Amino acid sequence: MSVIENTLKRLQGQRASGAAVAAAYVAVAPAGAAARRRDSGDAAVPERAIVIDQDTLRAAGMLPPAHQEHEVSQEYRRIKRPLINSALGRGVTPLPNANLIMITSAVPGEGKTFMSVNLAFSIRLEEDVTVLLVDGDVVNPRISQILGVENEQGLLDLIKDPAMPVTAAILPTDVPGLSFLPAGRPDSNATELLASARMQAVMSQLGSSEPARLVLFDSAPLLVTTESQALAHFAGQVLVVVRADQTPQQVLIDALDTLDDGKPVSLVLNQSLRPSSGYHYQYGVSARPREAGGGQSESG
């Protein structure tokens, strides 16, 4: 029995409130989706657009090896579908604020930043859905650093300045359907900012400005910083990355216990070596189906 199965079994007995915890795994090794531009005659790229360099991302461990792109992209198709359905109410009752999706882990090294980047690339391939990737790891803004925008105004600046429109900090990219919001300039009171009423207003604006946009927040690990716990409060869905054969069960339980009761949670088993034909689901109390796949880890 895997760490996820053990954890869910314990949580089912411990959480009388029936928090929506779901998990499934597709057993493969590395997983990801490459950023491929769509030949659809999209509008010209704005001057301030971030140019996504696949080689740079791959060198930073944010994309899988080129020869694995096709295989692992199938795994992200399994992961994204229930998230999209819950966010947009496709075949299911839409969850409140479900288009605001926080991606995290219990501790560093589980692969949550890899998951955030590749999930964003996969979702943006949808014909009628766009993606805003937010660097919500304000303590270690790795995506912002890799993209060279760590000094740009971003999430924290939006919270600190009520007069700043959210569009002022969102940067388009040269990948159709994908935009990016940097973490913003560091602040010693980041936790208080992320837990504020102004943060709630920012989240509302990010989630409502485009009806068919999913907002993905790459967050710090839950047990490492208090900032991630503050961010989780406003997210409509939480995706927790669990590294196969490495994450201790009690560590995962402790991480999930930091989340609000009733918060819709999906668990993704990362770097699993089980054959992909044998994936199956594990559901918590009052859970909706969630699909998940293996993934290639990185230092985030």
Helices (H), 209-291: 226-232, 249-257
d(CA 227, CA 236): 17
**Model pTM score:** 0.79
d(CA 263, CA 101): 11
Rounded-to-10 torsion of CA 229, 233, 235, 239: 40
Query: What residue ranges do the domains of the chain occupy?
Result: 3-30+51-260
For 3-30+51-260, the fitting CATH number among 3.30.390.10, 2.60.120.260, 3.40.50.300, 1.10.1030.10 is 3.40.50.300
Number of neighbours of residue 300 by Cβ within 10 angstroms: 27
d(CA 290, CA 268): 9
Q: Give, in degrees to the nearest 5, the angle at Cα 57 between 51 and 59.
A: 135
Return the DSSP state at 25: E
pLDDT one digit per residue (tens) for the chain, 300 residues: 555 656 655 555 555 444 444 433 332 223 233 333 333 334 343 457 899 988 899 999 898 888 888 888 899 999 999 999 999 988 888 789 999 999 999 999 999 999 999 999 999 999 999 999 999 999 999 999 999 999 999 999 999 999 999 999 999 999 999 999 999 999 999 999 999 999 999 999 999 988 899 999 999 999 999 999 999 999 999 999 999 888 899 999 999 999 999 899 999 988 766 655 333 333 222 233 333 334 443 434
